Structure 1
Amino acid sequence: MSRSRSRTAALAVTAAGLLAATAACGSPTAASGGGGGGGGDEEGGAPVRIGLVTSISGPLAAYGEQYLQGFEACLDHVTDGTDEVAGRPIEVVQRDDAGDPAKAVAEATDLIGQGVQIIAGSASSGVATQVAPLAEQNDVLFISGPAATDAVTGVNDNTFRSGRQTYQDVLTAQSFIGDPAGQDVLVFAQDSAFGQANVAAVTAVLGEAGEANVTPLLVPTSATDLTPFAAQARDAGADLTFVAWAGETAPAMWQAMGQQGVFDATNVVTGLDLRASYPTYGDQVAGQLNFLSHFFAEAVDNEVSQALAERVEAAGGTVDIFTPDGCTAAQMVVRAVEEGGDDVAAMISALEGWTFEGVKGELTIRAEDHALLQPMFQARLEQQGGELVPVLVETLDAEATAPPVATS
């Protein structure tokens, strides 16, 4: 089947913060030999090489770090500490895309040329949308990571995702505000693929479907003085201001919003981001914000989340917002290799429709378009022991936040 899709745009509302202060765990070692192949179920089979192309440097480096820690931890968990699948060692090759789509394509192309059949890891939506067609053209498996753009879902047979997508964020946000009909909604975001996807999402879900009046306020990604834009947000007179921000300028953005009185003028909703970002809100700001959440460690307690935390913490890291995306990717890789060997079509069939227990709870890869159906969370930040900590308000089940099926 072919999945060239026109899809409903949707919202990714991660209010990105500081680069993570977590310590890196030990990295998988890149193999020096050629591509994986051959062998299957017998002991001592040929290695399987997995290419993890993600942001090791650049503005989304903290997301890439968390992803890599999660992948390594759950590969260890799922393989019972062997890092082998069906008697074949898994060799992981890390490449840095620095959040640059051209660099990501170059790195992925090089890995594919070496015989790597599985590429994973994109933290940037711009990267994911460029690597996905490359996967189809070269018939390799691509498992996108934290990148939230809806454009990844249903784009082709070869592309999957291990994180949430934007529509799941917007439905979580809608659960806070109730009926949006007749309300004025301002989308405060960066003028990037990420920000534009947020505007399209809010327009589609709260505007066109929910009958709200949606207005964008897009900020150039190069802007360093955010005060004028915060003042515009204050003066817009919106019932709801939806902040969608990614990267290291988030602290300056929140400071400008506070200084310009935005929180006194409008109801602000945003996504809960890195733990390192919590202090940037400040007590007053945190107390006035509603947070939708993809994940925070206190939201879930199950076997997988416990195994993840044990391994990440033992390696000197901290479980954070995008650690589960790496864990889920490792689970998907093991499933694909166990069931498919070196046959990419068989890998795809093994993943389509698969339901499994993940860090967040029960996850399902929807067969029709490869959307990853998953629980989402409402949260707030509270002062506990002299620091802001996330508190679970409500868990929304996977069906409550399921995006519509991407259609051709």
Structure 2
Amino acid sequence: MSITSRRAVLRAGLALLGATPLFGQAQGAPIKLGLIESLSGPFANTGEAVFRNLAWAIERVNARGGVPTAQGRRPLQLQRFDNKGQVEESLSMLRAAVDGGIHFVLQGNSSAAAAALIDAINKHNEREPARRVVFLNYSAVDPILTNELCSFWHFRFDAHADMRMTALMELIKADEQLERMYLIGQDYSFGHAVLREAKRQLAQLRPDVAIAGEELHPIGRIKDFLPYATKIRNSGAQAVLTGNWGNDLTLLVKAARDVGFDGRFYTFYGNALGAPAAIGDAGIGKVVAVADWLPNVPTAESAAFYKSFRERFPKPQDDYVHLRMQLLIEALAQAIERAGGTDPLAVARALESADVTLAGQRGRMRAADHQFQQPLAVGVMDKAGTPGVPFDVEGSGYGFRVVRQLSADQAGMPHSCKMVRPG
């Protein structure tokens, strides 16, 4: 069997796990969820990582017998739709999911795609109320999605970019040696939002810090970041702030290391997908990452949660676990149970008051804008085995020591959503 064939069998097996409860208790028809994500192309690794997280969360729900409904206990089933990292393909995959009888779609690894899906779902649900769709977003963090573009049918389970920036600023405010900061990001809505908020918060909280350079680059198309890294080094910046993710982050930090840049990286996603291994020892004490949760959050419940994921996915390259994705599935299961079934309108109304806890982390949906409220953690890269770093990332030998934790109330921010609800 070829490598490609083996991968196909693994994916099919995981999908079937979503349909088959381990204890055989669920009796009803599967509740189908549609994952619309980049499963091929330059960001395929991010899509596959999301799939593993969601599949594992679904296994947990099905292992306890599925979701109780008025028709009996029903298992969850995850189906894959490859958008190839493109907005237009995302819309095509939405149509395919709807045609397949799916009422719950999940997407996150592109705010541009998320914005297009919100618009398309709004129009579809008004036009075809019998086939309504609820959109669960685990990673698209452009603040506009729960502000000006907020929708009754869209629920975001990740902290948006402004919330993450506020958490990073907790460390930037305390960095007394910082005089010059370089801003770099991907040239699309999320990248623009990160740089815009970075400039606003720097001006407010660290007006003494000069912006040494500001750069936007095409998303997913740059193979050689050496010219960008050279600009960063030559700018005299002591630190870089970036919202880059996937290969755009990994290649950037590799290039910075190669040209001898010795400053800090303040990142949204520097804690996974090859970045720690690419940075190596040069990142110790210098690479900062913010997340809803990090493996080294210092609690026994957190450690047990992370260990259980590593037991399920033991390969180092599969080490990409996000607690918010687990909470998303728990919140959906809770909402379906409260609604007594899968009617999208009833489930959406129940999701507005979702309140779930897993591994000691509690998250609650804010009904006013459908922005999930949860704690945030900020970590600094260090060698595994040093104090506060019992776990490394992707077998790299490097992990993130948690240096700041913000409660849900501290991480929350005002919104400008004017929610329009059906009826």
Which band: TM-score by shorter chain?
0.7 to 0.9
- Residue 399 of structure 1 aligns to a residue whose secondary structure is helix
1:329-348 aligned at under 5 Å gives the runs 329-340=328-339, 341-348=341-348
TM-score w.r.t. the length of structure 1 is 0.80
Q: CA deviation at 1:127?
A: 1.7
Q: Is the 8 A contact 2:152 2:348 kept in 1?
A: yes
2:196 aligned residue (196, 200, 213)? 200
- CA-to-partner distance for each residue in 1:349-406, whole Å, 9 max, x for gaps? 2111322213571111111101111111121222236922222222221122213223
1:310 aligned residue (299, 308, 316)? 308
Question: Could you tell me which residue of structure 2 aligns to residue 270 of structure 1?
Answer: 267
- Residue 279 of structure 2 aligns to a residue whose secondary structure is helix
1:123 and 1:356 map into 2 onto residues whose CA distance is 23
Question: Could you tell me which residue of structure 1 aligns to residue 145 of structure 2?
Answer: 152
- CA-to-partner distance for each residue in 1:230-286, whole Å, 9 max, x for gaps? 2222333446431332222434322322343432xx554223331633111120233
CA spacing shift, 1:401–1:178, aligned 2, 3 Å: same
Moved more, 306-315 or 239-248: 306-315
- CA-to-partner distance for each residue in 1:59-78, whole Å, 9 max, x for gaps? 33233223222222222323
Matched, 1:362 2:362: yes
Q: CA deviation at 1:316?
A: 4.2
Q: CA-atom RMSD, angstroms?
A: 3.3
Question: Could you tell me which residue of structure 2 aligns to residue 28 of structure 1?
Answer: 15
- Residue 241 of structure 1 aligns to a residue whose secondary structure is strand
2:106 and 2:186 map into 1 onto residues whose CA distance is 26
Percent identity between the aligned chains?
Answer: 19
Q: CA deviation at 1:173?
A: 0.8
Moved more, 153-162 or 221-230: 221-230
Q: CA deviation at 1:120?
A: 1.0
Q: CA deviation at 1:125?
A: 1.9
CA spacing shift, 1:304–1:69, aligned 2, 3 Å: farther
1:105 and 1:399 map into 2 onto residues whose CA distance is 35
Q: Is the 8 A contact 1:377 1:396 kept in 2?
A: yes
Gaps of 5+ in 1: 1-22, 33-42
TM-score w.r.t. the length of structure 2 is 0.77
Question: Could you tell me which residue of structure 2 aligns to residue 59 of structure 1?
Answer: 42
- Residue 152 of structure 1 aligns to a residue whose secondary structure is helix
Q: Which amino acid aligns with 1:227?
A: L
2:17 and 2:56 map into 1 onto residues whose CA distance is 17
Q: Is the 8 A contact 2:222 2:248 kept in 1?
A: no
Moved more, 23-32 or 106-115: 23-32
Question: Could you tell me which residue of structure 2 aligns to residue 17 of structure 1?
Answer: none
Q: CA deviation at 1:47?
A: 3.5
1:367 and 1:105 map into 2 onto residues whose CA distance is 26
Q: CA deviation at 1:175?
A: 0.4
2:210 and 2:296 map into 1 onto residues whose CA distance is 35
Question: Could you tell me which residue of structure 1 aligns to residue 294 of structure 2?
Answer: 296
- CA-to-partner distance for each residue in 1:127-174, whole Å, 9 max, x for gaps? 211111222222311001222222322421100022232122101110
The count of corresponding residues between Structure 1 and Structure 2 is 375
1:73 aligned residue (46, 49, 56)? 56
CA spacing shift, 1:375–1:277, aligned 2, 3 Å: same
Moved more, 361-370 or 79-88: 79-88
Gaps of 5+ in 2: 1-8, 20-25, 126-132, 386-395, 419-423
